[in-house]
A and B are shown apart, each in its own frame.
Chain A
């Protein structure tokens, strides 16, 4: 349900960005913007990026700790599968959903743009999808860990949102900025060597080392969550 609603919302918003691009373009800038710059500013740098991050958090919530609160954990734990497999399955499904959400702008934008006489390169859109899907996996992992640690229905999302905000804040502070990459900037390309803000396009090779580190961090958070779950008393 969460995934379907999220996917519909993202697709509808992307489509409206295309069809209302003249209105929205004048709303975000006083100067006329080229179409790729407009798409980048409104989609990959703007509201949609923030929305995607929050949707990734919402997809990471749930699990056995929530089930304990709802008193259904006993039934789930009685199934003939290990706790590790329960968490692994939930993680795989969640990550798949995050990746699918990240692909939506790449499908909708290049597909609908010709209908209004514009064009947005698929290569650009898919490159952003890789950035979004990777960072989205880390955010999903943060939410998953929060949902393992906090049983309250709304405590886990609040903690995950605050954790994300705290990370962004710390990543901007010296001397930490040297060691922490701002994941918002990785997603949008701002101040990154692989992105040209003037044209709104990704110009260099993707930051594979950074993306690998982000995935490693996501895997570490999920591993911590799995370890805690395996020792938890339900």
Chain B
């Protein structure tokens, strides 16, 4: 078996293991984006108290409140945890780890292929609103700037990869069924809580707020578009650094582990 076919096989294995989670998440985020755009008028015209996220007056603000800064963003962050779970510890529990380890590939290749598939899946989900919202908006006689969607796609990608890496590290550290998931959940919840500490408030460590550009959105001069501030590249670089560090730690631990 050639080296490339071995890697291809590992990529296929990682995809098969995670595809149900991926399709469920993609369907959810896709349905939310499609629903907000296509049924925007119907939701607006409904009498009585407006739906949460639809209290805003303009289309761009509604999309922001519901997708980029609201329900969809929260679900995205939560579901990214599931993309990082799995790995050799899980296989050890199921009794299949010896088969995987007996394959003519290194442990690093096994882990790296899992990371590659996970990262590609995170990219695909983060890009979904970018692919759907500006395009579908034209069908209902509205417009949503591609630049703004791209801006949030990058922010979601930065935050999503960090959550993915956190879950990946937890799945390397904790063998118990759902323990890794639980610890990763707690880690995710700890960040916004810790961010409320006075000494941490100036650093805006709550990456969920950064993902939604919370507190920095502003109006254009005509007050028709709700726009984000310039891309926080430094913050994204920090996100990337944390992601790489967490994944490297996970890789190092797996290499030394006895299965």
Chain A residues near B (Cβ < 8 Å):
1-2, 5-6, 9, 13, 16, 20, 22-24, 26-28, 47, 50-51, 54-55, 58, 61-62, 66, 69-71, 152-155, 157-159, 161-162, 165, 169, 172-174
Contact = CB atoms under 8 A, between A and B. Distances in A.
A159 B183 CA distance: 19
Interface stretch (B149-157, B173-181, B231-239): B173-181
The majority secondary structure among interface residues of chain A is: helix
Contacts of A13: 189, 193
A69 B94 contact: yes
A155 B20 contact: yes
B192 A47 contact: yes
B179 A5 contact: yes
Given A2-B182, A27-B195, A154-B82, A47 B189 contact: yes
A5 B71 contact: no
Measured as residues with beta carbon below 8 angstroms from the partner, the interface class of chain B is 35 or more
B24 A159 contact: yes
Name, among A6, A71, A155, A161, the residue most crowded by chain B CB atoms within 10 Å (CB to CB).
A161
Closest CB pairs A-B (n = 8): A27-B196, A23-B198, A24-B196, A23-B197, A154-B82, A9-B186, A155-B20, A51-B189
A58 B178 contact: yes
Nearest to B192: A47
Contact of B196 (A23, A51, A62, A169): A23
A172 B52 contact: yes
B233 to A, nearest CB: 26
A159 to B, nearest CB: 7
A62 B177 CA distance: 9
Nearest to A173: B51
Contact of A153 (B51, B79, B177): B177
Contacts of B178: 2, 58, 61-62, 153, 157
A165 B186 contact: no
Interface string B164-202: 000000000000111101110110010011011111010
Contact of A66 (B24, B25, B82, B177): B177
A68 to B, nearest CB: 12
13 contacts: A5-B182, A47-B189, A51-B189, A58-B181, A62-B177, A69-B94, A71-B95, A153-B85, A153-B178, A161-B78, A165-B71, A172-B51, A174-B47
Given A20-B196, A161-B79, 20 more contacts: A1-B179, A6-B182, A16-B193, A20-B197, A23-B196, A23-B197, A24-B197, A27-B195, A27-B197, A28-B196, A47-B192, A51-B186, A54-B78, A69-B94, A153-B90, A154-B20, A154-B86, A161-B78, A162-B28, A165-B28
Contacts of B197: 20, 23-24, 27
B93 interface: yes
B46 interface: yes
A153 B136 CA distance: 35
Interface in B19-36: 20-21, 24-25, 28
Given A159-B24, A165-B75, A174-B46, A58 B193 contact: no
Contacts of B71: 165, 169
A125 B125 CA distance: 40
Given A16-B193, A27-B196, A158-B24, A174 B177 contact: no
Nearest to A22: B198
B230 interface: no
A123 B183 CA distance: 32
A6 B25 CA distance: 25
B48 interface: yes
A1 B185 contact: no
